[in-house]
Structure 1
């Protein structure tokens, strides 16, 4: 299912942030030699402070680099946590029902399952499993729409897939035809797999 959306391509937030700090570092490392040249003409070499300035420049540059690296790691970890939150939300709604699409029956709904989206097949999905998915979607569709803001905090690709999942779920809830419902479930499985495989830059 495709989305009729257009958007200018942007650099991820962490890349823009890292670029900003690298520009600051470049300005800093450019300004220090100029300052040193000025001081070269004004300094009494018997009392030279150039070694101190060089040490200060190196320490300052290292601090800027380390701070930029810390910001990058923090931002990326936040995006990873956001994705895990979204996937856990989907798992609570879908994983048990989709697990039955792999031919598993009699599964305790309170126990976690290991879901392999690659082998789920619509022909193995029984009516009760579809109804279970539809029921969960109806109860949580408002929250599902609100959590698009969380997906947007990761990047546009994750937001696009999240909106695609939302659209498929909406179509699944509205259909009463078993064949169409099974097809919608398989579309959902495909997009969920794409969502899981999508890497965070």
Structure 2
């Protein structure tokens, strides 16, 4: 969570690992030893996640903003070769994200403000043998883009949870969940108050060609 320039984004940390290369600054595509971004595989507590970024590009594994909350991540196992036998469907790399358990002793709340979103995380006990951790995040990029007079207003929301119940010292049940919602809205008032003809022309062209 304290990675310089990482913006609390796990993908930015991954891009700094040995053998990994980033693409352009505003995207989280990961290139491992020259492989394509869509050749990486991601697993969250053993469950494959097709993409770990918001506003994902079809056929790639990246996007401008990561959707995994770093407050959940306990450790990351990175394989750039010699993949485990049950992770064979990968050509470049395998990432195993392990989520931490909720606090079994007391309820904790964490509020975080990033450069593009705000988030709230709760974790604590649910009875004697059950713990949980839950978070939700919401972007405020749409307000920044509107203030900058950009023709589109992106919004993203995500939620993540982990519930763990211990039956005894040998048996336990874990339920995890991860969800995200991305949305683009056209800024139809982008030309209000704008007098520069080239800017108006650019905005009209952009608004007219966004599907």
Q: TM-score, normalised by structure 2?
A: 0.24
More strand by share: 2
Query: Does 1 or 2 have the higher relative contact order (CA < 8 Å, sep 6+)?
Result: 1
Larger Rg: 1
More helix by share: 1
